[in-house]
């Protein structure tokens, strides 16, 4: 039964991502805004639902020390595996706006989070409110910029066939529900299968669960890239990483201050190093080669071995 539910979970993930991307792309056409904007906002927030659910639920019960490791692990996986997998499967061009505005912003807020954590090994309620406030400002800036630079109205034959607003919203909502439910089925049943083979809870938590909450980003970005929506794929990853830090950690710490283990600060530094290197490698050509992307996945595998044995 576990194997059947695992397969059902993967099916829901893939089909949910398919409909989610299609609905999001349609919304971008209807609003006449670049798909990268939808990727940075609607798609990023939708695929971060598992991280939000885990962290906020933990915060409400006062057990939110898992929130930091959940976000850090998810962000590293998003950057190294999601982007790496997309680029290894097909050429991955990166929008200049992401490289100039959003990617550097994700690096800056990672540095801010390191400073917050390293100061007293805690993210206070005030820190959380500051992070949420920064997110609001960031979203306002993105939306206002998109509205100022809306694309001209073109015929469907030129822009691509659009669905009605109602159908597009149904696709988005239905897609994200399928993604979240599918992700839960995959994580829960993968854990049961791993336990049946005698793997420890610690190893399962560091690998399957951490990767499982990032499955929505992985599947959605790969589907988007295969549909030719590279901007949405990259926007999803960067937007999700920004959303995880500013909203997921921000709301969690605003509900209940988060104690941070020193090892989490080290992991944040690793995230910062990875982010800076990938940003510099992609800056000149506005793309990442297949070799670099394969190297990113290998680097993540090495990191996984490191966290398993440390």
pLDDT tens for each residue of 185-239: 876 777 677 677 776 544 554 566 666 667 777 877 887 777 777 677 788 889 8
Percent of the chain at pLDDT > 70 equals: 83
pLDDT at residue 154, rounded to an integer: 44
| Residue 17 · residue 219 · CB < 8 Å | yes
Half-sphere exposure of 50 (CA within 13 A, CB side): 30
pLDDT at residue 32, rounded to an integer: 74
Confidence of residue 165 (pLDDT cuts 50, 70, 90): confident
pLDDT surpasses 60 at 160: no
Half-sphere exposure of 21 (CA within 13 A, CB side): 27
pLDDT surpasses 50 at 155: no
pLDDT at residue 172, rounded to an integer: 84
Q: Rounded CA gap, 18 and 43, in Å?
A: 12
Mapping DSSP onto H, E and C, the string for the chain reads CHHHHHHHHHHHHHHHHHHHHHHHHHHHHHHCCCHHHHHHHHHHHHHCHHHHHHHHHHHHCCCCCHHHHHHHHHHHHHHHHHHHHHHHHCCEECCHHHHHHHHHHHHHHHHHHHHHHHHHCEECHHHHHHHHHHHHHHHHHHHHHHHHCCCCCCCHHHHCCCCCHHHHHHHHHHHHHHHHHHHHHHHHHHHHHHHHCCCCHHHHHHHHHHHHCCHHHHHHHHHHHHCCCHHHHHHHHHHHHHHHHHHHHHHHHHHCCEECCHHHHHHHHHHHHHHHHHHHHHHCCCEECHHHHHHHHHHHHHHHHHHHHC
What 3-state DSSP class applies to 159?
Answer: helix
pLDDT at residue 104, rounded to an integer: 96
Backbone dihedral angles phi then psi of residue 122, each to the nearest 5 degrees: -155, 145
Q: Which residue has the higher pLDDT, 304 or 63?
A: 304
pLDDT at residue 159, rounded to an integer: 46
Query: Which residue's entry shows tokens 């190294």?
Result: 80
pLDDT tens for each residue of 268-294: 999 999 999 999 999 988 888 889 999
pLDDT at residue 68, rounded to an integer: 77
Least confident of 149-158, 184-193, 237-246: 149-158
pLDDT surpasses 50 at 157: no
Residue 285: partners with Cβ closer than 8 Å, 6 or more residues away: none
pLDDT at residue 130, rounded to an integer: 95
């Amino acid at each position: 039964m576990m194997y059947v539910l695992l397969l059902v979970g993967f099916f829901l993930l893939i089909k949910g991502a398919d409909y989610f991307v299609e609905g999001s792309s349609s919304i971008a056409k209807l609003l006449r805004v670049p798909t990268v904007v939808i990727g940075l906002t609607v798609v990023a927030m939708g695929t971060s639902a598992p991280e939000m659910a885990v962290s906020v639920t933990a915060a409400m019960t006062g057990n939110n020390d898992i929130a930091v490791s959940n976000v850090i692990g998810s962000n590293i996986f998003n950057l190294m595996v999601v982007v790496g997998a997309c680029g290894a499967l097909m050429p991955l061009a990166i929008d200049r706006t992401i490289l100039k505005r959003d990617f550097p912003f994700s690096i800056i807020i990672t540095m801010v989070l390191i400073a917050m954590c390293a100061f007293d090994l805690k993210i206070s309620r005030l820190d959380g409110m500051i992070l949420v406030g920064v997110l609001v400002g960031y979203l306002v800036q993105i939306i206002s910029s998109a509205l100022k630079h809306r694309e001209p109205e073109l015929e469907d034959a030129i822009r691509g066939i659009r669905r009605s607003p109602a159908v597009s919203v149904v696709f988005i909502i239905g897609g994200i529900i399928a993604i979240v439910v599918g992700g839960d089925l995959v994580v829960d049943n993968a854990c049961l299968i791993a336990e049946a083979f005698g793997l420890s809870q610690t190893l399962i938590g560091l690998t399957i669960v951490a990767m499982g909450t990032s499955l929505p980003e992985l599947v959605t970005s790969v589907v988007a890239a295969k549909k030719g929506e590279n901007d949405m794929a990259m926007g999803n990853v960067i937007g999700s990483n920004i959303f995880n830090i500013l909203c997921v950690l921000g709301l969690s710490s605003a509900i209940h201050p988060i104690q941070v283990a020193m090892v989490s600060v080290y992991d944040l530094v690793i995230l910062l190093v990875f982010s800076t290197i990938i940003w510099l490698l992609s800056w000149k050509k506005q793309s990442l080669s297949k070799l670099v992307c394969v190297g990113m996945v290998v680097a993540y595998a090495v990191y996984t071995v490191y966290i398993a044995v440390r």
